[in-house]
Structures are given as C-alpha cells and as structure tokens.
Amino acid sequence: MEKSEIKGFIAKRCAKELKDGDVVNLGIGLPTLIPNYLPEGVEVIIHAELGIVSAGVSPKEGDANYDPYHVVDAGGSPSSVAFGGGFIDSATNFGLIRGGHVDACFLGALEVDAKGNLANWIIPGKKMPGMGGAMDLCAGVKKIVVATDHCEKSGSSKIMKKCTLPLTGAKCVTDIVTERCYFQVTPNGLVLKELAPGYTVEDIRACTEADFTVAEDLGVME
C-alpha cells in the first residue's frame, strides 16, 4: 500500500462501523475523511465540535460550498453542512456529547492499550493542541473507534500493553483500526478481527506491543 493511500484505507474501514441514522463525532485529522467513504444506503448525522450538526463531505476549492473562512471542521479544514443541517452554540454542542446523544466517535491516538485506555492529547514537554473535547467524548459516547497508524515513525507500536502517556479516557475504546489490522476491544483484551491485505498474524504480533487473541472468523480488511 502506498503511503498516500493509508489514510483513505483506514477511513474507509472506519466508515463500515457506522449504522444508518447514527449521530457521529469525528476527531481532527484522519477521521474527517470518513464521510467520504460511507457505505451505500447509510446516512449519518455528523456532529462537529465547532457546532455543526449534520456536517457534510469535505469540499474542494472551487466547489460551490467551499467556505474555508466560515465553515470548518475541528481541525480547521474546510467542511460543509448537509441538507437540513445547522449550527448550535458550544453549550448545546457539549450537552449532546455529555448527555449520551452521540452514537459513535472516531479519534486519533498517540497510544491505545489492551484495556481500551486512550492517550491522544499531550506528550509531556512538547507543545500540543491540547485536550479539546476528547475527554468529554471518551466519557459520553457509546462507541469510541481509534483510527491511527499502527506504529510511530520510529517503528515503535502505538498499541500498548499499558499506556505510558497521560490518558484522555480510561477503558473507553471499543475498536481500533490501523493500516495493518482491525482490533475489537473486549473485557478480556484485544481480539484481532481483520487483517489488511498482505499482512499475517505473525506480522501483527511483531509490530504490536499488546497481547491479543485471534478471532475464529478472522477476516480481511476492505
């Protein structure tokens, strides 16, 4: 897989976790690509932290709805509003999250571990964007999917036995999607459910610090 294809591959697999009618929050970066890969027949309401309810696909420069100064996603990139969508204030926005009205959320990770703990907001001593609304999402959303590269640029695994960085949320992650595989987080630990084309179980064990079991119905990511 070419490096330029990785984000799209992960986003496409993440989109398969959504059901028709879900209210969904997308973190910054890779998760904002997910609306471009929704399966046929699945319509979702995308909730954006900046106050859009029912955000649309990411517009390109020259599109009629391209407005990079007024309509943006949580990462500051151009966004759009789907037909019937609208804007809400910050208090109402976080009320939706804290009240349990968001069905699924997709977040990036610095580290995620076998118990479903997530660290994605700070590396001590380095300047980072900060927590944002991630803490609220981890506490209030039913399904938390981590969408991330499997390893750091150094080659070290992001999928740990135990997170070493300050946590964003404890025991909140339900699923992990990388360019190499798909894990489900269960009370008994990680279960390898799917492999990306070209990877074997042995490959995943070699690049994953956390222990995991292999599903009997192990499939292929698409």
Would you please indicate which residues are annotated as catalytic (active-site) residues? 49
Read out DSSP for 64-105? TT--TTTSB-TTS-B--EEEEEEE--HHHHHHHHHTT---EE
* DSSP character string of 10-26: HHHHHHTT--TT-EEEE
110 three-state secondary structure: coil
